[in-house]
Amino acid sequence: MESFTREQLQRGAGILAIVLIIILSIILFVLDPMHIENGPGSQPTKVYFADHISPAHALVIEKFNRLHRGSIEVVPVNLPFDKFSTNERKELLARSLRSKSDRLDVFAVDYIWVPRFARWSEPLGQYFPKSFRAEIIPNALASCMSDTTMVSLPMYIDIGLMYYRQDIIRRLPDGDAVEKRLQASMTWEEMTTLRSRLGYQGKPFYLFQGNDYEGLVCNFFEFIAVRDRQFFSRKYVDLTSKMSPKIVTEFDENTAYDYMLKENVPFVRGWPNFLENYRKRKNADTIKLNAIGRAALPHIARGTPASVFGGWNLMISRYSANKTAALTFLSFLFQKETQIMMYEAGGYIPVNATVYADTAFIQRHPELAYYRQLLERGFHRPPFTDYTKISDIISHFVHRALRGELTVDAALRSASEMIGSNKVLIK
C-alpha cells in the first residue's frame, strides 16, 4: 500500500479511468449495439438500469416490462457483486456520469454514496411530494437526502445482525432462554461465558468480515458505536485471537457464511438476506440452513446494542433523456406489491411502510417484524461526500491491526493522520 498526494493521483489515474469507461461502454454496447434513435411511437422508450441484477431484480423488471409493453422497456445493466467490488461499481458509475453520458438512466448506489452522486443526479423532491415520502420508513428516507434535497429513492434497507446455529445452542439445558437472550442482544461478556459452556475454547466461535473493504468498516463502526474508547483494543482485535480464527481477515460476507456452514461455527455477523440467497444455491445444505436463527449483535456491559444501516438507493441520471419513463420505473419499484416480491424472492427488506401495516403478510414472515425491531437500534455511517476515501483508509489500517501488522495505537494514529491530510490510499 502506498499513499499519494491528490495531484499525483490525478496524474496516475488515467489508465484506470480509461479501463473503467471501456468496461461500462462494452456492457452498454452489447445491450444496444446500434443505439438506433426510434421515431415517436415506433419503439418503447428504453430505460437502462445499472445494478447487481439478482433473480429478484429480474422478476420485478420482467413484471414492469410486461405491464408497460409497447411504451417502456427497462434494460438491465448487470454489475454483479461476484465480478465487481462495491468500489469498482462506484468508479464505473462515476466515470460514466462524469463524462455526461446519456447511456444510463437509472442506477443503484450504496446509500452511503448518495452525497457523492448528487451532483450527477436528478433532484427528486418535485416528483415525490411529502405525502409520498410519508410512506417511506424514516430510517430509509434519511438516506435519500443530500443536504436538504431529495436526490434518491430507497430500494431496500439493510441492518447488521448476527446469525446463530440453533441446533448448537439447543444442546444446552436452558437453550430456549439462551436464544431469547441472543435475540435481545447478549453482552460480549455473556458471549465469552457461552463459548465456554458450549465447549468452543480454542475453536472458531464468532465470525465477522475482516477483509480490507467496506464490510470491515461496517463491523468497525458497530464495535465503536457503544461509545467505549477502549473497546477497539480490548475486544475487536482480541476477537481474532480468542473467539475468531485468523482467517476472518480474508472474509467478506459470502466467505464468512461459507465458513460458518462448513466448519459448524455457532455465530457469524451478517446482513438480512443470507438465508434467502443461500437456499437458492445448488446443493444448498438445507439441514444446516434450517437450523440457523437470527439475533441482535452483541454489546458490551453498560453499553447500548447498535447495528449499522446498509441498503441501496436508486438515482436518475441528470443526463438521462428518458426521465419520465425512469420516474415511472422508480415509482413501480416502491409499490407495496413490488417490495413484497423483492422480499419474498430475495430477502430485500422493504422500505415502504405499508408493507409493515399488512398484518397478514407480517404473520407469514415474522422475521420481518424482528428486522423492524433491529432497525430501531440502527445508525447511519457518516454521510460525507468523500466518505469512500475515509472508508478506504479506515479499512486498510484496521485490517492491518487485525492481522497483527500494526499495534492498535499505531493503526488508529496512522488512519487519523491520513484522513486529516490531503492524501488518498491506492489499493
Q: What is the pLDDT of residue 227?
A: 62
Residue 33 pLDDT greater than 50, yes or no: no
Final residue of a structural domain among 364, 379, 394: 379
Both 19 and 96 in one domain: the answer is: yes
Q: What is the pLDDT of residue 36?
A: 36
**227 or 12: which carries more pLDDT confidence?**
227
CATH number at residue 46: 3.40.190.10
Q: Which residues does 65 contact at the CB level (< 8 Å), separation at least 6?
A: 72, 73, 74
Out of 35-49, 232-246, 263-277, least confident range = 35-49
Out of 10-14, 183-187, 229-233, 421-425, least confident range = 10-14
Residue type, 70: G
Q: What is the pLDDT of residue 179?
A: 98
Both 210 and 65 in one domain: the answer is: no
Cell matching residue 382? 457518516
Q: What is the pLDDT of residue 241?
A: 72
Both 6 and 60 in one domain: the answer is: yes
Mean pLDDT of 196-215: 95
Number of structural domains the chain divides into? 2
- Between CA 121 and CA 11 the distance in angstroms is 27
Both 174 and 303 in one domain: the answer is: yes
Both 113 and 256 in one domain: the answer is: no
Both 408 and 375 in one domain: the answer is: no
Both 126 and 38 in one domain: the answer is: yes
Which range of residues forms the domain containing residue 286? 161-308+386-426
Q: What is the pLDDT of residue 235?
A: 64
**242 or 16: which carries more pLDDT confidence?**
242
Q: What is the pLDDT of residue 234?
A: 61
Q: What is the pLDDT of residue 13?
A: 47
| Matching residue, cell 436528478 | 122
Both 237 and 317 in one domain: the answer is: no
Strand order in the sheet with 161-165: 206-207, 267-270, 161-165, 292-295
**283 or 107: which carries more pLDDT confidence?**
107
Q: Answer yes or no: are the C-beta atoms of 186 and 298 closer than 8 Å.
A: yes
Out of 15-29, 53-67, 69-83, 266-280, least confident range = 15-29
Both 106 and 250 in one domain: the answer is: no
Q: Answer yes or no: are the C-beta atoms of 109 and 93 closer than 8 Å.
A: yes
Out of 8-12, 80-84, 283-287, 398-402, least confident range = 8-12
Out of 24-28, 227-231, 251-255, 396-400, least confident range = 24-28
Q: What is the pLDDT of residue 205?
A: 97
Both 356 and 400 in one domain: the answer is: no
Both 147 and 193 in one domain: the answer is: no
Residue type, 224: I
Out of 117-121, 248-252, 299-303, 346-350, least confident range = 299-303
Mean pLDDT of 92-112: 93
Buried b (16+ CB within 10 A) or exposed e, 124-152: beebbeeeeeebbbebbbebbbbeeebbb
Q: Answer yes or no: are the C-beta atoms of 165 and 266 closer than 8 Å.
A: yes
- Strand pairing category for 45-51 and 72-78: parallel
Out of 30-39, 59-68, 92-101, 247-256, least confident range = 30-39
* Average pLDDT of every residue of the chain: 88
- Model's pTM, two decimal places? 0.85
What DSSP line would sit under 13-45, residue for residue? -HHHHHHHHHHHHHHHHHHSSS---PPTTTSPE
Q: What is the pLDDT of residue 195?
A: 97
Both 131 and 274 in one domain: the answer is: no
What DSSP line would sit under 329-367, residue for residue? HHHHHHSHHHHHHHHHHH-PBP-BHHHHT-HHHHHH-HH
Q: What is the pLDDT of residue 258?
A: 96
- Between CA 389 and CA 368 the distance in angstroms is 34
Out of 25-34, 70-79, 272-281, least confident range = 25-34
